[in-house]
Amino acid sequence: MASFMKGYSAQAYAALRIVSGFTFLCHGSAKLFAFPVPPPAGAPAAITYSAGTIELIGGALLILGLYTRWAAFICSGTMAVAYWIAHGTKALFPIANGGELAAVYCFLFLYIAARGPGIWSIDGAD
């Protein structure tokens, strides 16, 4: 049982990087272009445009595996700031303050920054 899926860890990690980059890109696209859904209401324009730009460009870079460590590090920091600005002041636990996604993105991107691009990436191409 200990070897279950072990032979696919590189592919699973690449899929994690690509899919998380895509979902992050969708957040930025929603904020900046109202596509595929309208942006969330009530956020200040400065936050919407700065976070949306980081989400859009950072997500694209993660999908491609280009400047992966830096892109993931910046995306992680953005989500840490987003958590504390939008959620952390409301309640202690992420489940209570609605910040689960920001917290998970923050640590997911921190892991990607530490691990690097992996396979199926421009950075990792030989």
pLDDT at residue 42, rounded to an integer: 86
Span 78-101, average pLDDT: 95
Answer yes or no: is 28 within a domain.
yes
Q: What is the pLDDT of residue 48?
A: 93
Q: Identify whether 62 is part of a domain.
A: yes
Residue 99 clears pLDDT 90, i.e. is over it: yes
Judge whether 99 lies within some domain.
Answer: yes
Angstrom CA distances, 45 to 15, 23, 40, 48, stand at: 32, 21, 11, 5
Q: Tens of pLDDT along 34-59?
A: 999 999 888 899 999 999 999 999 99
**Mean per-residue pLDDT for 64-84?**
98
Regarding pTM above 0.85, the answer is: yes
Is 30 a member of any domain?
A: yes
Would you say 75 and 52 are in contact if contact means Cβ atoms under 8 Å apart? Answer: no
**Does residue 4 form part of some domain?**
no
- Cβ–Cβ < 8 Å for 103, 83: yes
**Enclosing domain of residue 72:** 12-115
Q: For residue 43, is it within any domain? A: yes
Our CA dihedral for 75, 29, 25, 106, rounded to 10 degrees, sits at 30
Q: Is residue 98 part of a domain?
A: yes
pLDDT given for residue 66 in this prediction:
98
Answer yes or no: is 68 within a domain.
yes
29-39 pLDDT per residue, tens? 999 999 999 99
Looking at the 3D structure of the chain, how many domains does it have?
1
- For the residues 11-31, what does the mean pLDDT come to? 97
